[in-house]
Amino acid sequence: MRPLCNIIPLSFSRLFAGRSHRILARRWLRSALCLSIIVPCMASAEPKPEHMVYLRTIDPSIEQDIRYAGAHNFTGHPLDGYGAAQCLLSLGAAKALARVQTALRTQGYGLKVFDCYRPSRAVADMGRFATEPGDPRKAEFYPRVDKQDFWHLGYVARVSNHSKGGTVDLTLTGPEALPAQDWSPSAAQVDCAAPYEQRWHDGAVDMGTGFDCFDDRAHTDSPTINATARDNRQRLSSAMQKEGFSGYSKEWWHFTYTGDDTLKNVMDFPITPLESSATDPQPHAAMAQVLDTSNQLIVVTTKNWTDIQGTAQRYERHGNTFEKYGESFPVVVGQSGLAWGKGLSVVDQREGPVKREGDGKAPAGLFKLGTAFGYDSTAETRLPYLPLTSTTECVDDSNSKRYNELVDGSTIAKDWNSSEHMRRDDDMYRKGIFIKHNTPASPASGSCIFFHIWRAPTSPTLGCTAMDPADISRLFSWLDPRQSPLLVQLPEAEYEHFRESWNLPER
């Protein structure tokens, strides 16, 4: 039986005079019929199948940088179907990946994923990009390749295994990795195959090229990369193969789980945010796994949800436990106290407020730390450092694509109506550190949360955590991104509630 797309009604072809017109008519209608079959399927609200799970619920210690949910990818735009920056995989593939992570952690390494399940509408979006004019990210991702050649070179597939739930793109983190940079569309484009120190720093060790690098040097067995990168690729490949993943010769980052032969169907359900619920498997054990990856910890506690003053204590890991480092020091938090924030924690929120934009509350939970910033051109810190200028802004307009980002307002087109100018007339931001609350950003969930210098020991903030200048200077010199520092910020009662299940240190 012929495929439906090859059946052309004769009555239609007769409307066109001449052989050439009939050929064109057949081609046009064949395409239209195929699209009429495919497009409605892709546009439907397909539900998430039960066998598909969020990786964070299985192993939240695996880092995630889901590139197709944003613009830092070869197309220069978020792909259709990526409504959240989340990795979803089949349950079997997710558990196998967690075993890879456990094995690598014994060697001092870990995983960071760039893409997992990919809706088929996103694959179609890639295909459209490859046929349309424009190359907004060519200089970084495919400087030596014409995008019309993506398919025959093997970098883009018309039907992707990612859409079947068992394929993942990932890299290797480790002690020799340069700290991850915070990307923005204004960032300079550097060739993905440039030397490790020059190209975009994604928080991974040297793998020979960056992710999604359409270049011969990205081929798994490329002879042109250095010995360190070859060793790192081999370490990643070996760990993945032991748990049932097979690699792809054209892309060192691409692996497909072979332990479940039922993963045959292409799916198109959209990726949506992960909501905490009572059905999330072992959320407390998951938080303990996240904390187990950290060697530096800052604990901030307040007396209750509404108190504006608190205490901070630094900790360093020694073996399996955290031990106090230095003396505790006082801090002030939001003028309305604390509220559950959007960070790494997946908690059963027993009681307590939830952080919202403009509520005057500092976020409670477990958070990563981002860029340090300040008024000086350089700083004594191992954190990535941003010198503030008169045009540096932090966007707090939920409707902006730059919501919750530090940007240079003089270099990009403004789509926001509200922001905070970072170069102030006082010393509050002379030294500061970005707290990764609501990153990636969800509208109205709160923005521009920092450690910074206080006005006074009894003067609260609008939602940040502030301290004496000497104390933030100590954080600048102490924090090391290679030690995966984390912030735990909670009311005392909540801290005690979660302390044992999260493996938190005694205060």
Strand pairing category for 486-491 and 296-302: parallel
Sole residue written with tokens 């613009």: 71
Let me know: does 207 contact 178? Beta carbons within 8 Å. no
Q: How far is CA 362 from CA 296, 303, 447, in A?
A: 21, 14, 10
Q: Among residues 63, 243, 251, 405, which one is catalytic?
A: 251
Let me know: does 429 contact 422? Beta carbons within 8 Å. yes
Nearest to 484 by CA among 366, 329, 323: 366
End-to-end CA distance of the chain: 73
Q: What is the SS3 assignment for 458?
A: coil
Burial (Cβ within 10 Å: 0-12, 13-18, ≥19) of residue 262: exposed
Q: Is 251 among the residues known to form the active site?
A: yes
Element (DSSP H or E) covering residue 251: strand 251-257
Q: What is the SS3 assignment for 331?
A: strand
Q: What is the SS3 assignment for 279?
A: coil
Structure tokens at 388: 């503030």
Residues 98 and 285: their CA atoms lie apart, in Å, by 13
Residues 9 and 228: their CA atoms lie apart, in Å, by 61
Let me know: does 153 contact 145? Beta carbons within 8 Å. yes
Residues 243 and 63: their CA atoms lie apart, in Å, by 19
Let me know: does 440 contact 402? Beta carbons within 8 Å. no
Q: What is the SS3 assignment for 310?
A: strand
Alpha-helical (H) ranges within 427-507 are 469-478, 492-502
- Phi first, then psi, for residue 19 (nearest 5°) are -65, -45
User: What is the distance, to the nearest Å, from the Cα of residue 348 to the centroid of all Cα atoms in its chain?
Assistant: 23
Please list the active-site residues: 251
